Amino acid sequence: MTGDRARRDMRVLVERLYPLCRSITGDGVRATFDIVGEHLDLDVHEVPTGTQVLDWTVPKEWNIRDAYVKDASGARVVDFRRSNLHVVGYSVPVSATMTLEELRPRLHTLPEQPDLVPYRTSYYAETWGFCLSRRTLDGMGEGPYEVLIDSTLADGHLTYAEHVVRGRSDEEVLISCHVCHPSLANDNLAGIAVATALAGRLAGEIGRPRYTYRFLFAPGTIGAITWLARNRDRLGRIRYGLTLACAGDRGALTYKRSRRGDAGIDRVMTAVLRDRPHTIVDFSPYGYDERQFCSPGFDLPVGSLTRTPYAGYPEYHTSGDDLGFVTPSAMADTLETLWSAVEVLERDSRYENLSPYGEPQLGRRGLYGSLGGRSDTKQAQMAMLWVLNLSDGDHSLLDVADRSGLPFQAVAEATAALEGAGLLKRVGEDA
């Protein structure tokens, strides 16, 4: 997939998903999978209400058709049809006539951001409410107001989906993103779009990769917990993992290490981000579903990749996180970063130097001549020397990149040249 096409496809996917009212359960999640399923073959799972999943229970399913607060003239002062953020997620049905004084405890605003509508939920306590801008609230009279929430909260299912790119090995790379937020373009939809593009690129450009790549699209917290509970027998296959969120804003990339702090994915992402604007932070049990995958009983090698991190921008969980907040170029940069990580995972191997006594003569093998005219001649030469020196059968190419401080791509290119000249032999399980 070309860069321009990837940008366009990701942008279109975000635009199509944006109007849907998603939550941790319900038809909005299914409609999301219908659209993503136009790009990827999805295995969609339905888990019934009441199912015990670890320390949790799958909740009732929530769906909503309409909601509003109407003034005496019949005008919708607050209108779900205008934005699905206007209703507190999981609100129970309501039909009433109320004064503003009676209604006010059910109204949620952001006084410090008076033009924005907040995103609020109440998944596990049956209640109801509306979200609106402070400016709208300040303009409301005393009423009375007609109040309606046409919703259902009943036994149903929690829905999650998987897409698997089968590799030569059963060992897995897990890419997870949450699908439970309504119209929030960055914190939800950009991650879905980038994950979808990455899965498509894997199948299109690699075909049958070294590892098996599992893409998980699930509601936050309860979805990841449900998946973990239902897949305990296969968790030992996961060698690397990332949660993906906030993938489309203009901020620099942020990587949060796994709970282990030195897992393979932590080393891979450190190498990939070395030459990009970025921040690396230590693990904390707060954020996205990395905290479920990294809970002590599982302790999976899963980090988190975002641009501006969780709750780190003023538009976070507000109507300001709209289609104008995410950019195709930012999503493309996130995608390219992930692709660089895939290249490390696919190419990292151990080699043996077949001429280990002293430095082999590179000139007579045409290796120095192949560097002539390159803008990175010095880097390419140093990469060859480092690869030769550390190719003792014990060090991987990622080890070489770490030790030398050189880009992994330069190390991999040097390795290919040296192997082609008969100076290296791959060793280990990939030989």
Q: Residues marked as binding?
A: 181, 187, 317
C-alpha of 277 from chain center: 19
CA gap 252, 306 in Å, rounded: 9
Contact 388, 411 (CB under 8 A): no
CA gap 53, 379 in Å, rounded: 52
Residue 352: how many other CB atoms lie within 10 Å? 16
Nearest one of 405, 409, 415 to 385, comparing CA atoms: 415
Token digits of residue 343: 């290249």
CA gap 255, 267 in Å, rounded: 11
| CB contact set of 85 (below 8 Å; sequence gap of 6+) | 117, 118, 119, 131, 182, 183, 184, 318, 319
Nearest one of 41, 302, 259 to 172, comparing CA atoms: 302
Contact 64, 151 (CB under 8 A): yes
The 3-state DSSP class for residue 40 equals coil
Residues belonging to the binding site for Zn(2+) are 181, 187, 317
CA gap 71, 20 in Å, rounded: 26
Count Cβ neighbours within 10 Å for each residue of 299-320 and write b for 16 or more, e otherwise: ebbbbbbbbbbbeebebbbbbb
CB-hemisphere CA count at 13 Å for 99? 3
114: cis peptide before it, omega within 30°?
Answer: no
Give the CA distances from residue 213 to residues 200, 216, 291, 317, in Å, rounded to whole numbers and listed in that order.
11, 10, 20, 30
